[in-house]
Structure formats: structure tokens, C-alpha cells
Amino acid sequence: MSALCENTGADVTQVSYAVGKDTRIGPKFLNASVGFGGSCFQKDILNLVYICECNGLPEVAEYWKQVIKINDYQKNRFVNRVVSSMFNTVSTKKIAIFGFAFKKDTGDTRETPAIDVCKGLLGDKAMLSIYDPQVTEDQIQRDLTMKKFDWDHPVHLQPMSPTTVKQVSVVWDAYEATKDAHGLCILTEWDEFKTLDYQKIYDNMQKPAFVFDGRNIVNTQKLREIGFIVYSIGKPLDAWLKDMPAVA
């Protein structure tokens, strides 16, 4: 739905508000984002797929598989949007990452969309500077080097000394993360990201300065007034971005 809104100039928050007014649905869990994460949701869906297949219901199983596929599509679409917006490459460019946990107020990184987004950017040889108030550098490096679902193995079967990804630096200050960065990706909805001094951040970034809000938590209009080129999931596109579709 967020992709459709971007292509038509609609605002996904208005769509989710309208749909949420139906009391049979409600407003919860209708916020568009870069993708869902956590240890339970994807695993539960895959279990449901397995149960359906074992009980001779391939059509039902295929329906639920699409939930996983569209979540992967959303993460890939976000990466493609970043790359296409920044002159079709992020190679050797510093990209600041705000948030690595799968949701705010936790240090849990299991199945966080930040892993796939960061790996996608690293695949184009970006230089990442990551800040999350609760996730450790060791955990971030481990997540970026482990294979998918390795986190679900017993600890003694996980890599003991994760290989350091040299293109990644982990910092403990949001302003340090964005210093001399070409772009900023917001991947976790930490409250502190809403109240940062974005004028200061803009002044210390390379120009043009890009913000890619994967959680719809910043004031898009205010950031554009400062001078940022802003992409916000499911929101009308910045004029700069309209001719640069994020094709997966």
C-alpha cells in the first residue's frame, strides 16, 4: 500500500487512518514501515505455511507466503530507493543508520529489517555509520555476518567471534553518526530521533543531504525547509525523487 501511495501521490497515513476507523479493524498495526521484524511474526507465519501444506492446502499456504514475500519486497524497495536517489550508487558514500533494533525500546535485533537494509547498502559498497541506543557493536557485527536464522540456534552453535565488516562503524552518538554523511536512514522508531537538532545534522552532512525515513517519524516538511531531500515511506515523493522510481 505504501508503494501504491508513493506512485499516486497519496499519503499512507491518511489511508491507514481511514481504514482504522472501521471498528472491525481498528488503527493498530496499520503504520507503514520499512518492514516488520522480531523473532515471532515471521516464524509464526512460516509455521502456518507448513501446517497448510501438510494438510493439503497449497493455495492457503501460498497466500501466507506472500506476507513474507511482500515484507522482503518492502526492504528491497527501500534499499533501491536509497541507491537510485543518490545518483544510482552509494559506493564509498557514508550512510548514517539510525536504529538497528526491530522496534523501539528494546535491544532485540532478531529479524530486524535493518539487517537486510544494511546488507543491501553494503552490497553496493556503502560505508555505514550505525547508531542505536541499546544495540551493541558486537551484536550489530554479528547480525551482519551471520546467515539468516543463525540467531535461532543455541548460543554455542553461533559464531563466537564474528568477522568485522570493515565498511561498518558503530557509534554512540547520533550526531557523530551523521557527520560528513551523504545520507541518513531511519530504521527504528526511537523517540529520541524525533527531537534531534536536524539543522545541526544538516550542517554537518555532505550536500545534497538525504533523509530516508523508514518509520515515518520525522516532520518531512520541516526537514525539506532545512534543505534535506526527504523520502518517507508511503508519503508523496520529494520532487527530486519523482523521476527516480525504486524498482525492485
Residue 85 contacts residue 244 (beta carbons within 8 Å):
yes
40 is catalytic: yes
Catalytic residue among 5, 40, 52, 54: 40
| DSSP character at residue 147 | P
Residue matched to cell numbers 533494533? 101
From residue 170, give the alpha-carbon distance in Å to each of 56, 92, 96, 115.
48, 17, 10, 14
User: Please, which residues have CB within 8 angstroms of residue 183's CB and are 6 or more apart in sequence?
Assistant: 82, 85, 86, 90, 93, 95, 96, 209, 210, 211, 212
From residue 41, give the alpha-carbon distance in Å to each of 5, 14, 72.
25, 26, 14
Residues classed as catalytic: 40
